[in-house]
Amino acid sequence: MSRIHILDDRLVSQIAAGEVVERPSSVVKELVENALDAGAREIRVELVAGGKRRIVVADDGCGMDADDALLAFDRHATSKIDSIDDLERVATLGFRGEALSSIAAVARVELRTAETAGEGQRVRIEGGRVVTVEPVAHPQGTRLEVASLFFNVPARRKFLKRPQTELRHALAVIQGYALAQPEVRFSLRHDGRMLLETLPVSADQEGLRARIGQIFGAVLARNLIPLEAAVRPGERVAGFVGNRQTGRGRRLFVYVNRRLVRDRALLAIFYRTVRETWKSDAFPALFLFLEVPPEEVDVNVHPQKAEVRFRDPGFAGRVGDALRAALEQARGEEPAPLATPVAPPSMPAAWEGLGERKQPLRDDGGTWRPLPGGEVSEVREGAVAGGDELADGGARSYGRAVEPGPAAGVAPRIAQPNFTPPAPRTVPLSGRSGPPRAFRLLGQYKGSLILLEGPDGLYLIDQHVAHERLLYERLRRAFADESTPSQSLIEPQILELGPAEALRLSELAPALEPCGFALRPLSGGAVALAALPADLALDAAERLLQRLATAEEAIENDPGALRRQLLDDFAASQSCRAAVKMHHPLTMDEMQALISELFRAEQPYACPHGRPVVLQMTDVELERRFGRR
């Protein structure tokens, strides 16, 4: 008896469906492509439970008659190609005739369609079996409802993610096609709430910029540099590349003849060009539209048509040249001002009026006059400077932290000019657990470095980095105790985000509330910020929320990991801004208080960004440089 046998049609259909239908977003993709191929000018998508429960895609395209409405569900039934020659120069998004049969094999499907307004056709199919075929009144176009996806394949259904995750995948599909077809109106509703709605615009560069603004917000649209080049007859490279303000890594869209693709070779060229041109791994937004003759690109190399193959191997290099020119231009352009001004960084109220001096005084002759200060003093771990102890909750300041600019570096040289010293090394302090050591406070170098004489050499402490570390640990302790005070805004700040980012922040709102944030989702891709942590400036809060909105899915699904990320981001950004700056003179008492608390820090070796706090020049190194060894 033969062990090889022919599979039945239902099983074959379910196997084929596994290549086409992975999740609800796969269904959305296939149905939207069919609508576009039918000439639709308006496409409406409705999802329930992220598409796990129900998906509806309605269009105003050409529709189908009674015969085609039923035939469309047969495998490899299509109106788009007739021969091998057609396959080699296919210009439609779909062409295999697999989508509807694959979807109907694993779901409950209802099709309503009409070629002209009035009498149409209704077809119901469950698990590949035709249940109902009947006439029905319907406007011109097609409406497909897909319910209970994978109801007959439990093994596939259990691998679907939670509704919000599936919704994000479906939203990404719709955003992708809305960018490729700016002249088509798109809308997306989820559980009755409108998430995305675009208005038709022209298909030229300015129309595309307007469509990007409709989807991702006007701020991003203003920070884009046009990209356009006619590389060879029949070939065109167009689109936009973002400036440095758009380096968020998620907005990379590549189209070939209006087909959204994931071409690894093209993206690799983009990544390499950014690294070579900008010397950075902060990849800007990219909206790349490539036009090539249909016979010069093979779109039939992937089950979901997500990858393509160019017949001319030199085409990718020509695209790279166009990208390089646009990135060179973007590197030198300043972003347009934001539509909504933001408040300058704020300073904790406890610091007001403290640390007023900004620089050493000079006499009329222009010579430096030393600051008044006490005698050189002894500093021991655990020592408390009277009235100036840092550990009192921030009642003493080392300067007014109102300028958010980067701190200027200080690199003193104590050797001969032609001598190259070895790389400085971080010195572990005794900290909380080690034996106490005596350090002699010598003073301050150029208002930036605190000099200590230790038992085994000279210690140099970066005052900004040291203070940043202390503030960081305080803020983390405050967050851990869930004691972060919140300040309500008189008028909520509207954050312009893409629909996907707004959806993420809406999901994260409950986890953000104990940290001092109050968020309220609005229609489209906007979120209202009604309250923020008391010690966090508005612009810093917006940057933090932007980072959280683009967090990896694994972080979002782990509340503990999300909270840790939030703590680190907030504490690191706020401590850096509030810490005493370089070139800011301190009194001996202020330096003593700073060093005293630093010695008791949990991690006194580096700031939250990894820069060293303390460097040491040992006695042996000093003697060797002076020629004594």
Nearest residue to 319 (alpha-carbon basis) of 250, 381, 232 = 232
Question: Which pair of structure tokens corresponds to residue 99?
Answer: 């989508």
Say if residues 242 and 224 touch (Cβ distance below 8 Å).
yes
Nearest residue to 349 (alpha-carbon basis) of 387, 394, 386, 390 = 394
pLDDT at 52: 95
pLDDT at 521: 83
Nearest residue to 498 (alpha-carbon basis) of 160, 251, 244 = 251
10-residue mean pLDDT series, the chain (629 residues): 73 69 93 93 96 96 92 81 67 75 93 93 93 94 96 89 92 94 95 91 91 87 85 86 70 89 84 81 85 83 72 84 81 43 34 35 38 41 38 36 36 42 43 60 87 86 84 72 74 84 83 82 82 78 78 53 63 66 84 82 74 85 84
- The runs of H, that is alpha helices, within 416-533 are 463-480, 499-512
For residue 531, the cross-strand partners are 488, 518
pLDDT at 312: 84
Nearest residue to 166 (alpha-carbon basis) of 314, 291, 49, 39 = 49
CA distances from 157 to 51, 74, 148, 284 (A): 12, 24, 9, 36
- The runs of H, that is alpha helices, within 38-136 are 66-71, 84-88, 99-105
pLDDT at 174: 95
Question: Which pair of structure tokens corresponds to residue 25?
Answer: 């977003």
Rounded CA gap, 256 and 368, in Å? 66
Say if residues 30 and 99 touch (Cβ distance below 8 Å).
yes
Q: What SS3 state is found at 596?
A: helix
Rounded CA gap, 146 and 32, in Å? 13
Q: Which domains occur in the chain, in start order?
A: 9-197 (3.30.565.10), 205-332 (3.30.230.10), 378-475+579-625 (3.30.1540.20), 486-576 (3.30.1370.100)
Q: What SS3 state is found at 253?
A: strand
User: Quick one: 552 exposed, middle or buried, by C-beta within 10 A (0-12, 13-18, 19+)?
Assistant: exposed
Q: List, as one string, the DSSP characters of 28-40.
A: HHHHHHHHHHTT-
Rounded CA gap, 481 and 485, in Å? 11
Q: In what order do the strands lie in the sheet with 377-380?
A: 377-380, 438-445, 449-454, 457-462, 614-618
Phi, psi (degrees; rounded to nearest 5) at 426: -80, 135
Rounded CA gap, 534 and 155, in Å? 49
Residues 6+ apart with CB under 8 A from 550: 248, 249, 250, 501, 504
User: Running DSSP on this structure, what letter comes out for residue 372?
Assistant: P
Phi, psi (degrees; rounded to nearest 5) at 605: -90, -25
pLDDT at 393: 36
Number of Cβ atoms within 10 Å of the Cβ of 226: 15
Radius of gyration of the chain (CA): 32
Rounded CA gap, 384 and 596, in Å? 7
Amino acid, single-letter form, for residue 311: R
pLDDT at 535: 66
Sign of CA dihedral 428, 434, 440, 443: positive
